[in-house]
A and B are shown apart, each in its own frame.
Chain A
Amino acid sequence: MVSNIIKEFRIEAKDFIHAGESSIEIRRILKSMGLDADITQRVSICAYEAEMNVVMHGGNGIISMILDETGVILEVMDKGPGIDDINLALTEGFTTAGEEVQQMGFGAGMGLPNIIRNADYFKIYSETAKGAYLIMCFWLTNTIRRECSGRLFAAWNNNRHDGVG
C-alpha cells in the first residue's frame, strides 16, 4: 500500500529557466515510490503541460501532487489573467501564446488537449482576471472512475493563491 504523499511547488511566471523542474521532481517521487510506469508517464506529461501553461500565461502559481492508495491527484492554480473562453482553449491548435514563446516550441495549442488525453479525470475552472484552477486525477485501478475534488480549489476560489501546504 502506498503511503500518502503531498507535495507542493511554486511556479514562477515567465521563468523559462526553471520551467519543468516541478514536473521532473514529481516524476522522480513517483518513480522512487515504484509507481506503475504508464501512470508515471501520464502524470509527467500532464504536470509538464500544466506547469508550462502557468509559466507562459498564468502569473505565479502552485502545483500540488497527492499520491495515495487510489492514485495521483495533480492540482494547479494560478493568479494569471484567466481564460476567456475555456472551450476554445481546449481546442487542439488554439493558442494565445506570443510569437517569441512559440518560436521556442511552446504554445502550440496542444497543452490542454494533451492533458485531456492523459488524465483519467480532468476539470478546469477559470474566470477572467482571477486565474485558472485545474485538477487532474490518475487512478491506480481501472475500475475506479470517480469524480474528484481537490484541496486547493477553495483557496483558489477565495483568491488565496499561496497554497495551503
Chain B
Amino acid sequence: MKVRDIQSEFNLEIAAGSKGLDREVTDGYCGDLLSDVMANAGPGDIWLTMQSHQNILAVAVLKELAAIVLVNGHRPDEDTKARADKEGIPVLLSPGSSYPLAGRLFAAGIKKKQE
C-alpha cells in the first residue's frame, strides 16, 4: 500500500513531503525515543510519533522509513517541513493518538513482521 492510499483512507492531513506520497508502506512502528526507532523500525515502515522537530527526518532517511505520522495533533515546524520536502518523506498529521491509528493500519494489512 502506498502512503497516498493510507493518507486518503484514514483522512490524514499532509503537512509536508508530498512528493513522497508514492512510497510503499510495508509495516509500521510507534515510538517517541529516537534511539528506539533507530534500533527497531525498518525500511518501509510508517512511523507514528509525537516528536515533531526536524531530526525525525534524519531518522526517517537513515532507516528508509516510508512516512511519518505526527499524532495527538502535533504539527511540524517550518524547518521540519522544509526538511521533509527536501528528503521527499511525507509527514502526515493525525488528531488522535497512536493506538487507534496503529490498530486501524494493522487491520488494513500494514504488517510485515510476525506477531
Contacts and interface: CB of A to CB of B under 8 A. Distances in A.
Interface of A: 16-17, 19-21, 23-24, 27, 41, 44-45, 48-49, 52, 104-106, 108, 110-111, 114, 117
Interface string B30-71: 001111101100010000010101110011011100000000
Instruction: Report which residue of A16, A27, A48, A106 has the largest number of chain B beta carbons within 10 angstroms of its beta carbon.
Output: A48
A114 B39 contact: yes
Given A110-B35, A114-B38, A27 B62 contact: yes
Interface in B65-102: 79
Tell me what chain A mostly uses at the interface: helix, strand, loop, or mixed: helix
A106 B59 CA distance: 11
The 3 A-B pairs with the shortest beta carbon distances in the complex, nearest first, are A20-B58, A110-B35, A108-B33
Nearest to A51: B58
Contacts of B35: 49, 52, 106, 108, 110-111, 114
A24 B58 contact: yes
A117 B62 contact: no
